[in-house]
């Protein structure tokens, strides 16, 4: 049917120019708003100052207005005496008297310099002789000392801000200083946001198997707001062509830009692009050589941009920033966005698809020498957290297939700048680590956690790229956890133990041996290289039950598979099993410890971590309550098989 549209997959730039040629991308009309409502808006016109700032010659100190020449030659040893005028100049009042030669007038910071005076001597350099009403000046002052002359900050008629500027508090402060009570700003582009998909439910509703919370809708509506637009969120729509057509009409009537997400690929039920086809001129580009983002669909209706973003959240937000945000900037009369980037070494070898420009989300950490290392977030375009946790992204050109570990890459920063990190944690994820991270943050440390698994965490520690690597690696030869993997440059902070066991749904009451022996049951395995897999293989011996090849990568995935009936039994940790409502049969405890590179052991946040993990600490008690028991005797694993 319409799948042939994918045959013409364009380069990013070619796609953008073809699309823009069909759009009317002028700045929208201006509107005047009160200054207090101007934050985040974009100036429609250049702003010229109608006044001088300051508007008068202003004293910058508490002291005395004098004629500088009267102080010449004054010193601690030979002060000069001036007659005090019978006036004190506060702020906000025009002075009455002239400062005649040989006289001085008391003046406050911010006070208006009186006629005759050309300098201020601060009160610290003076004494007052009350008897004679004379000022004793103990230092010479140059003309202009401690005075801001009128118009030195902003001169009347000067252009202080230019059209196209997005107003932050720095700019609204300037506008206030020149007395602008109202400001001409560009009308916010109204952007209709529609999610599509039969599987979507609104956040706040109850989850059911197979459904997905609509994250794109919220994310895109708020991204519109962040970009200076006004989102009109029209909700999540069913995959139904008439429904979509109707909603699209409504959106086009109400909005300057229409953004849909989902339903743009070739799958059955992907109908969004068909609803867009009927527009004039309709679809201009369907398929761009990007990863993530290939199925994006760029369309127009009488000059109005209409976009269908791919449904996967990371794809949706990337393509929003690639294609929609620049359009919003044009409608707001803003210049192209400037990117901030840094150089970093890629931490792990990464494969990329030839023929597509790939955007690789990365987290950044610093090694001891201050050099940056970039860790791919590694969760794929279906992930929402990759985007929210990444520091930036690397563009991998369409001609490149492999970027080797250690190769230098350019990282475009997502936040525009890179925040410093007090404690970089790289390794295996566990909700116990979340408790530890929270405790550190409560003590004022900034913590960055890159969940890359035990082995990559250990490598990071060996390279000195993290402060701590949480690991749970079972050495098959010795049967010991973690300690066999250390070297002289690494130290181990004892963590906690997590009980691993065989899980089933609650109504299955038989013991482990019976489950293993029942050929009607289907198991769920774990990925090779995980400690749990070694445990499972030990348990099974030569047996290969149905489901042995089903190898999800996390304790949570195992629990979900059993809870949802894709498998009947598997091995996971107790906390996860209990949270999923599964029956748990203890096998043995797994040691989850913290590897610290000695080169970074002196850092304050590492000391704080050490304190937090001390025996009998409050955090230890909290961990125990969450199901993570302390077992400080590192190697003596209690096997309860």
Residues that bind Mg ion (CB under 5 A): 197, 262-263, 311
Q: With beta carbons less than 8 A apart as the criterion, state whether 326 and 337 touch.
A: yes
Q: With beta carbons less than 8 A apart as the criterion, state whether 595 and 469 touch.
A: yes
For residue 174, give the nearest of 47, 344, 345 by alpha carbon: 47
Cβ closest to ligand AMP, residue 111 vs residue 310 = 310
Min CB(337)–ligand AMP separation in Å = 25
Binder of residue 214, out of ligand AMP, Mg ion, none (CB less than 5 to 8 A by kind): ligand AMP
Considering only the stretches 224-232, 258-266, 526-534, 621-629, report the one whose residues sit in contact with ligand AMP under the rule CB under 6 A: 258-266
C-alpha dihedral, 387 to 388 to 390 to 394, nearest 10°: 30
Burial of 194 (0-12, 13-18, 19+ CB in 10 A): buried
Cβ closest to ligand AMP, residue 235 vs residue 581 = 235
Work out whether 262 is an interface residue with ligand AMP (CB under 6 A): yes
Q: With beta carbons less than 8 A apart as the criterion, state whether 527 and 553 touch.
A: yes
Min CB(314)–ligand AMP separation in Å = 10
The C-alpha angle with vertex 282 and arms to 279 and 285, in degrees rounded to 5, equals: 160
Min CB(283)–Mg ion separation in Å = 17
Q: Distance between CA 219 and CA 384 in Å, rounded?
A: 9
Min CB(306)–Mg ion separation in Å = 17
Q: Which residues between 178 and 237 bind ligand AMP (CB under 6 A)?
A: 195, 197, 199-200, 212, 214-217
Q: Distance between CA 153 and CA 150 in Å, rounded?
A: 8
From residue 486 to residue 525, the character string flagging contacts with ligand AMP as x (rule: CB under 6 A) and all else as - is ----------------------------------------
Tokens at 600, concatenated: 């970074």
Q: Which residues between 301 and 320 bind ligand AMP (CB under 6 A)?
A: 310-313
Work out whether 265 is an interface residue with ligand AMP (CB under 6 A): yes
Q: Distance between CA 539 and CA 533 in Å, rounded?
A: 10
Beta bridge partners of residue 374, listed in sequence order: 346, 364
Cβ closest to ligand AMP, residue 237 vs residue 605 = 237
Min CB(384)–ligand AMP separation in Å = 8
Pick from 267, 416, 529, 565: which binds ligand AMP (CB under 6 A)? 267
Binder of residue 195, out of Mg ion, ligand AMP, none (CB less than 5 to 8 A by kind): ligand AMP
Q: With beta carbons less than 8 A apart as the criterion, state whether 597 and 471 touch.
A: no
Binder of residue 101, out of ligand AMP, Mg ion, none (CB less than 5 to 8 A by kind): none
What is the SS3 assignment for 587-603?
A: EEEEEEEEEEEHHHCCC
Binder of residue 199, out of ligand AMP, Mg ion, none (CB less than 5 to 8 A by kind): ligand AMP
Pick from 111, 189, 228, 263: which binds ligand AMP (CB under 6 A)? 263
The C-alpha angle with vertex 74 and arms to 72 and 78, in degrees rounded to 5, equals: 145
Strand pairing of 212-213 and 200-201? parallel
**Size, binding site for ligand AMP by CB under 6 A:** 20
Q: With beta carbons less than 8 A apart as the criterion, state whether 180 and 47 touch.
A: yes
Work out whether 71 is an interface residue with ligand AMP (CB under 6 A): no
Q: With beta carbons less than 8 A apart as the criterion, state whether 310 and 316 touch.
A: yes
Is residue 63 helix, strand or coil? strand
Pick from 261, 350, 383, 525: which binds ligand AMP (CB under 6 A)? 261
Binder of residue 310, out of Mg ion, ligand AMP, none (CB less than 5 to 8 A by kind): ligand AMP
Min CB(228)–Mg ion separation in Å = 29
Work out whether 264 is an interface residue with ligand AMP (CB under 6 A): yes
Min CB(316)–ligand AMP separation in Å = 7
Supply φ then ψ for residue 74, to 5 degrees.
-70, 145
Tokens at 234, concatenated: 């029209």
Residue whose CB is nearest to Mg ion in the complex, by number: 197
**Residues interacting with ligand AMP, by CB under 6 A?**
195, 197, 199-200, 212, 214-217, 261-265, 267, 270, 310-313
């Amino acid at each position: 049917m319409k799948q042939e549209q994918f045959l013409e997959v364009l380069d990013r730039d070619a796609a953008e120019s073809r699309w823009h040629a069909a759009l009317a991308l002028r700045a929208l009309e201006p509107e005047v708003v009160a200054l207090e409502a101007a934050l985040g808006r974009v100036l429609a016109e250049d702003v010229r100052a109608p006044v001088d700032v300051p508007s008068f010659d202003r004293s910058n100190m508490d002291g005395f207005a004098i004629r500088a020449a009267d102080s010449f030659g004054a010193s601690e040893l030979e002060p000069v005496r001036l007659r005090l005028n019978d006036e004190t100049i506060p702020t906000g009042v025009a002075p009455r008297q002239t400062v005649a030669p040989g006289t001085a007038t008391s003046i406050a910071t911010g006070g208006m310099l009186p006629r005759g005076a050309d300098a201020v001597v601060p009160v610290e350099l003076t004494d007052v002789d009350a008897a004679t009403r004379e000022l004793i000046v103990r230092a010479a002052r140059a003309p202009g000392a401690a005075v801001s002359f009128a118009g030195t900050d902003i001169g009347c008629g000067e252009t202080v801000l230019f059209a196209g500027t997005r107003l932050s508090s720095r700019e609204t402060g300037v506008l206030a200083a020149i007395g602008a009570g109202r400001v001409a700003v560009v009308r916010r582009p109204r952007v209709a946001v529609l999610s599509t998909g039969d599987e979507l439910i609104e956040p706040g509703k109850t989850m059911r198997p197979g459904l997905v919370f609509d994250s794109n809708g919220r994310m895109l509506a708020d991204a519109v707001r962040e970009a200076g637009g006004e989102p009109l969120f029209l909700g999540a729509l069913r995959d139904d062509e008439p429904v979509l057509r109707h909603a699209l009409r409504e959106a086009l009537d109400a909005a300057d830009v229409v953004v849909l997400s989902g339903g743009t690929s070739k799958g059955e039920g992907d109908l969004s692009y068909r609803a867009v086809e009927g527009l004039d001129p309709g679809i201009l580009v369907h398929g761009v050589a990007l990863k993530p983002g290939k199925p994006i669909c760029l369309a127009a209706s009488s000059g109005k941009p209409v976009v269908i973003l791919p449904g996967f959240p990371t794809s949706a937000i990337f393509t929003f920033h690639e294609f929609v945000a620049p359009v919003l900037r044009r409608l707001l009369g803003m210049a192209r966005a400037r990117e901030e980037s840094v150089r970093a070494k890629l931490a792990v070898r990464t494969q990329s698809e030839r023929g597509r420009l790939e955007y690789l989300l990365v987290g950044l950490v610093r090694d001891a020498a201050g050099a940056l290392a970039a860790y791919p977030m590694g969760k794929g375009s279906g992930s929402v957290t990759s985007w929210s946790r990444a520091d930036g992204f690397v563009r991998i050109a369409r001609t490149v297939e492999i970027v080797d570990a250690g190769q230098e890459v350019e990282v475009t920063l997502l936040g525009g700048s890179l925040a410093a990190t007090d404690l970089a944690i790289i390794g295996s994820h566990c909700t116990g680590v979340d408790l530890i991270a929270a405790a550190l943050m409560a003590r004022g440390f900034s913590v960055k956690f890159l969940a890359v698994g035990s082995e990559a965490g250990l490598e990071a520690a060996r390279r000195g790229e993290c402060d701590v690597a949480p690991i749970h690696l079972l050495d098959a030869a010795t049967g010991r956890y973690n300690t066999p993997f250390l070297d002289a440059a690494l130290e181990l902070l004892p963590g906690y133990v997590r009980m691993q066991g065989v899980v089933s749904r609650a109504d299955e009451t038989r013991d482990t041996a019976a489950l293993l022996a029942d050929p009607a049951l289907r198991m769920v395995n774990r990925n090779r290289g995980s400690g749990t897999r070694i445990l499972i293989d030990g348990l099974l011996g030569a047996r290969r039950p149905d489901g042995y090849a089903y190898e999800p990568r996390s304790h949570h995935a195992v629990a979900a598979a059993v809870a949802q009936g894709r498998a009947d039994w598997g091995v996971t940790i107790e906390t996860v099993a209990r949270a999923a409502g599964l029956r748990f049969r203890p096998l043995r405890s797994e040691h989850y410890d913290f590897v610290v590179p000695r080169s970074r052991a002196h850092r304050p946040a590492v000391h704080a971590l050490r304190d937090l993990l001390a025996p009998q600490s409050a955090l230890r008690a909290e961990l125990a309550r969450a199901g993570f028991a302390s077992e400080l005797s590192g190697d003596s694993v209690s096997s309860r098989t």
